[in-house]
Amino acid sequence: MKAPAGIEGRAPALLSSLVTPERRPAALGLAGAALMLLGAVLPWVVGADSDTLSYGFRPDADTGIPALGSRAGLAGGDALVVVLTGAAALWAAVLLLIGRGRAVHRAALIGAALLGGAWAALDLAETGTVPGRTGRLPDVSAGPGPYVVLAAVLLLLASGVLARWDPESQLYVRTERANRLWDKGRFGEALELQQRNVRAARRSPGRNHPSTTSASVALVWMYAWGGWPDRAAELARQTFEDAAHWAPEHPEDYQRLRADIAAILGR
């Protein structure tokens, strides 16, 4: 059940699609989240006295006073903060990648970057400056962890800034996802997704927009090939009515639309 060539484009392979303008914010976000999580498992302090530091926000073994200290590996509060910020960034980037990103996900990317960056900068500033129990400065220096996190911060900030809400590009990404589901034989999921896409497109960018027309044609094709010719014909009629608003400015595209729908309906 493949669409005839020229009726509806197919998304390129995943790795290729990540570098398109629509997917670039998601690609940056995924890379930043991966670096953030990597930074959580790398040592943040190295040196002869690194094992003597208190790890994370917890009571000191001798005084019982809670203290925020550096840590190595996954021990302590530092690692927890970095893991949580990396997980939040990964969640937001994945939703951007599959075309379900919203303003809150852009805020999550920027928030994860700011929190992780502040935490790494604080540890870098304090490493080796806090005397130990004997009053001697410990023989420690910054490990690779905080530097990796700071690199992640730059990627996450770029992802959040570039992830502008664009109904047209998001509609394209979601329609391509519905097409891939159909090609994999998951017809019910594909049809349900494309129905949602068309309903959302009619709200924004609007019924009379060419992007909405393109999404509607994809749904007409699914109805026709899925065995619902009446639904296909009715949606095609509505699509023609809506497309009439932009047809005078784009007569060639309108003629192409008529030819595509005629090919889908077998007329």
Query: In the prediction, which pLDDT does 119 show?
Result: 84
What's residue 217's pLDDT?
92
* Reported confidence tier of residue 52, pLDDT bands at 50, 70, 90: low
Residue written as tokens 């999404």? 215
In the predicted model, what is the mean pLDDT of the chain? 79
Both tokens of 264, joined, read 């889908």
97: three-class secondary structure by DSSP: helix
Structural domains in the chain plus CATH codes: 23-162 (1.20.140), 167-265 (1.25.40.10)
pLDDT exceeds cutoff 90 at 95: no
Number of helical H runs and strand E runs in the chain? 10, 4
Q: Residue 136 — very low, low, confident or very high, per pLDDT cuts 50/70/90? A: confident
**Cα(80)–Cα(119) distance, rounded to whole angstroms?**
11
* pLDDT band at residue 121 using 50, 70 and 90 as cut-offs: confident
Beta carbons within 10 angstroms of residue 177's beta carbon: 20
Residue 36 pLDDT exceeds 90:
yes
Amino acid at 73: G
Give the chain's length: 267
Give the integer Cα–Cα distance in Å for 44 and 256.
60
**Which residues are bridge partners to 57 per DSSP?**
68
Q: Considering just the CA atoms, what is the radius of gyration of the chain in Å?
A: 26
Q: Do 171 and 201 meet the contact criterion of CB atoms below 8 Å apart?
A: yes
DSSP structure class, residue 69:
E
Q: How confident is the model at residue 22 (pLDDT cuts 50, 70, 90)?
A: low
Query: Do residues 237 and 259 lie in contact, with contact meaning Cβ atoms separated by under 8 Å?
Result: no
Are β-strands 56-59 and 141-142 bridged in parallel, bridged antiparallel, or unpaired?
A: unpaired
**Model confidence at 51: pLDDT above 70:** no
Q: What value does the mean pLDDT take over residues 100-117?
A: 85
189 vs 119: CA distance, rounded Å: 42
Asked if residue 243 has pLDDT above 50, the reply is yes
